[in-house]
Structure 1
Amino acid sequence: MSLIRMMLGGSLALATLPALAATGPTVGGIPVDFILFALTLLGVALFHNATLYVALTGATTIALYKILFTGFKTGAGVLGFVGHLGHEAVTLINLFCLLMGFALLSRHFEKSHVPVVLPKYLPNDWKGGFVLLVMVFVLSSFLDNIAAALIGGAMAHQLFKSRVHIGYLAGIVAASNAGGAGSVVGDTTTTMMWIAGVSPLQVLDAYVAAVVALCITGYVAAKQQHAYSPILKASHDHTRVDWGRVGIVALILVSAILTNVVVNVKFNHLADHFPFIGVAVWLAILVSMGVRRPDWEILPETAKGTVFLLSLVLCASMMPVEELPSASMVTALGLGFVSAVFDNIPLTALAIKQGGYDWGFLAYAVGFGGSMIWFGSSAGVALSNMYPEAKSVGQWLRHGWHVALAYVVGFAVMAVVLGWHPEPLHRAAELPAPPAATVPATVDAR
């Protein structure tokens, strides 16, 4: 019952936190759209063995309801829905390409034998697991956090003899999201702020909270993992690294990073019209086929998790959220919890449009907050495709409790050390930036 109350409470928060559009039927003052979305999230939490079908049913039901009764911002009826899909197409395509492509990347990395030789360079006790999470954190500061989480998952699979604790899986997701929170190229939400005129130095403040959060969740998760299955201590001097696969991993990651930087700096006005980063990742995969064959066999199962996330992203995009409460430290803290069950891209777009935030606080909140539930971030969904046992909200909350604790403590430390200093978007007028709600080429939707 505590799980049900948690999901209902979180879903009702979605309805009461934003100031909603006045149109459309309501029940107890809550728009029916939000009630349908809350029931979808509750279904995902309770029926974790059928999450794909629950998410698809929820997306279909919400779409039909809006077609028949309320319409969309792009119009009424079927044409309005088609227009809405067109508006969200780049985000959805980028997400699909990234999740599918990075699944192949993680398999290349695992077969490169780098995770097998890694124990020679890591401590043998719980500190080895902690150092691995630090590596994921660092990788995510300049890579897409989906890739960082999957690389961390591949290393953990080898280091812990395929027995990875759910609490440690939550730690990997938290480390990947924390690493991207303070970098304008590490997370879609921070990239959006950068495009809108937020200085990278303002976003960098998020690392004050992110490092604290990493230390807390990393310590607890590493201890959990060591008690469950210690790090593999056997020597692998006979193992040779497959440098061909290492090169493929590097090619895919460099393609993603360069595309992200070039598009968002030079051609950001085109970023909402074409899925640049997704195409770049797949071009790198196809070009490298002659060096090593990708494991195409993993794609059908990966596609299930990908469609699940896309369904939730589509559900969130159809919610009648028009604005947020007044910008404040409390609002930023709340957005972190909302981000665990709601797509953080529209939340960030609304915050940018509203202005008046301390952007370091906002970057940490929307970046790290999704780690609290397995489907709260694309990194969590991607890692859960690799470890299906993680697809349980109850188990994630039970064993990954340290993520929520780390989020709150990190936020509090940041408040004490830096204080709340809201700043305007100083450089917005100097950049050829798109409208505030534009989604950049790289995607980390929740």
Structure 2
Amino acid sequence: MLDVALIVIAILALLCVIFEDLIHIDKAKTTLLLGTISWLLLFIFSPSISQTEHINDALMTNLTEISTLWLFLVAAMTFVAYLNRKGLIENVMNIVMPKKISLKALLFFTAIFSFCFSSLADNITATLVSIALVLSLGLPLKQTIRFSVLVVFAVNSGGVSLITGDVTTLMIFLQQKVSITELLMLIVPSFVTVMLLAALLSIGITGEVRIKKQRNDIATVDYMIAAIFLATIIFTLVANVMFSIPPVLSFLTGMAVMFMVATLYGKHNDNDPILDYIRYIEFDTLLFFLGVLLLVGMLEHIHALNGFMYLYDSLPVSVANYLMGIVSSLIDNVPLTAALLKAEIAMTTPEWLSFTYAVGVGGSLLVIGSAAGIVAMSKVEGLTFATFLRYSGLLLLTYSVGYTMVLLLANAFF
């Protein structure tokens, strides 16, 4: 009976995520509450002392995995929060954007910008910045929605090939299913499909827009911190390949260097303390991940994840991975990825790469399927589940093309 109750709790948590807009309760609150309650029940109804010790060991293992992910995201998001609030990201957009541009060309520019920026920043920050760019253009609603759909797909596609860009990619990497160099192969199919979607969305769109430019005053130390951020990303990739240094250690080191540089250059003062920028990151997202991974760890402990084995036993792995990508548009890709990793399904490198692409990009098919979609829906008035659904056919086509390219390239090289 306890196992049934725990599975019901996990399903309830999933429903709370899906219907977040209807119940008006942040998904971070519901998942964290139900995740902690599920482990409390395991301890309370433990039949013996030896079983309690087993539960405690499982919880400690689960918390270790969560803390590794948490600390990495805290470091990466602190960098981005600092640079964004200082206006450096906005300045970069102003430099690369022309004063006048056609809507078709602007679609491709938006696609490229969202794709590249999401490789460096987390998906939430990349979406916020990209959507802010779209809204600043003052386009009609239909065109704004078209641009927003492109942003969601481009952000999810751009983040999938680097551990700094997508949480699910980071999770798969931390479990040593793929290496950093293997993940870089995903850049080609991801970029091609983003350009394909931009081309399809540009059909029938005409006109030009004028870009209003506003330059922010950037201090020398802010440029130094931007350089430290880029150096940290490069060092993380190189250090892991050459010395097997965990990415979390590299990013924490980079964040520490950022704090020291800001302090030495006089940025640490009562009006603008450098440590305050940790407060500007999306802690609700981090708490959501905590709750989700607690729930998945609980399901793994009670062996409730064996159901995934049936899907992979009854279908070819490539087909099962493709379907998992589609499922990720209904079920958040973080718990989906965590569940499959806990199920310990045996896959080859090409199959893990195809799974990484599927759960990273498949969530774009529905607006509720990814953090990027939910952020876009909250910022763009008129972008709803129904209006986004009109573009799901195009999104499914581009997702399918990208997935096929991943399989072909991965099998050719690995």
Match of 2:325 among 319, 333, 336: 336
Q: Go from structure 1 to structure 2 and tell me whether the alpha carbon gap of 1:347 and 1:166 turns closer, same or farther (over 3 Å shift).
A: farther
Match of 2:363 among 351, 363, 370: 370
Q: Does 1:354 find its partner at 2:349? A: no
TM-score, structure 1 normalization: 0.66
In the alignment, which residue of structure 1 is the partner of 2:258?
Answer: 284
Q: Go from structure 1 to structure 2 and tell me whether the alpha carbon gap of 1:263 and 1:114 turns closer, same or farther (over 3 Å shift).
A: closer
Structure with the higher helix share, 1 or 2: 2
In the alignment, which residue of structure 2 is the partner of 1:5?
Answer: none
Match of 2:396 among 387, 408, 417: 408
Instruction: Give the gaps of 5 or more residues in structure 2.
Output: none
Shift of residue 267, structure 1, vs aligned partner: 4.2
In the alignment, which residue of structure 1 is the partner of 2:109?
Answer: 131
In the alignment, which residue of structure 2 is the partner of 1:178?
Answer: 157
Shift of residue 365, structure 1, vs aligned partner: 0.4
Residues 15-414 of structure 1 mapped to structure 2, 5 A cutoff = 25-26=3-4, 31-48=7-24, 50-69=26-45, 76-77=54-55, 80-109=58-87, 113-116=91-94, 118-120=96-98, 123-141=101-119, 145=123, 148-149=126-127, 151-153=129-131, 155-156=133-134, 158-160=136-138, 165=144, 168-182=147-161, 187=166, 189-190=168-169, 192=172, 195-196=176-177, 200=181, 204=185, 207-208=188-189, 211-216=192-197, 220=201, 232-234=210-212, 236=213, 239=215, 242=218, 244=220, 247-248=223-224, 250-268=226-244, 270=246, 275-281=249-255, 283-285=257-259, 287-288=261-262, 290=265, 293=272, 296=276, 299=279, 302-320=282-300, 321-322=305-306, 324=309, 325-326=312-313, 327-340=316-329, 341-343=332-334, 345-346=337-338, 349=341, 354-356=346-348, 357-372=350-365, 376-377=369-370, 384=375, 389-390=378-379, 395-401=383-389, 404-414=392-402
Aligned residue for 1:31, secondary structure, equals helix
Shift of residue 89, structure 1, vs aligned partner: 1.4
Aligned residue for 2:237, secondary structure, equals helix
Shift of residue 175, structure 1, vs aligned partner: 1.0
Give aligned-pair identity as a percent: 18
In the alignment, which residue of structure 2 is the partner of 1:17?
Answer: none
TM-score, structure 2 normalization: 0.70
Deviation digits for residues 331-367 of structure 1 (CA, Å, limit 9, x no counterpart): 1112213334141552564688511453443232022
Aligned residue for 1:120, secondary structure, equals coil
Instruction: Give the gaps of 5 or more residues in structure 1.
Output: 1-22, 427-446
Between the aligned partners of 2:145 and 2:276, the Cα distance in structure 1 is 27
Task: Letter of the 1:103 partner, please give it.
Answer: A
Between the aligned partners of 1:160 and 1:298, the Cα distance in structure 2 is 32
Task: Letter of the 1:371 partner, please give it.
Answer: S
Between the aligned partners of 1:245 and 1:219, the Cα distance in structure 2 is 42
Task: Letter of the 2:359 partner, please give it.
Answer: V
Contact kept, 8 Å, 1:104 with 1:296, in 2: the verdict is no
Across the two proteins, how many residue pairs are aligned to each other?
388
Q: Go from structure 1 to structure 2 and tell me whether the alpha carbon gap of 1:83 and 1:307 turns closer, same or farther (over 3 Å shift).
A: same
Task: Letter of the 2:157 partner, please give it.
Answer: A
Contact kept, 8 Å, 1:189 with 1:367, in 2: the verdict is yes
Between the aligned partners of 1:78 and 1:106, the Cα distance in structure 2 is 41
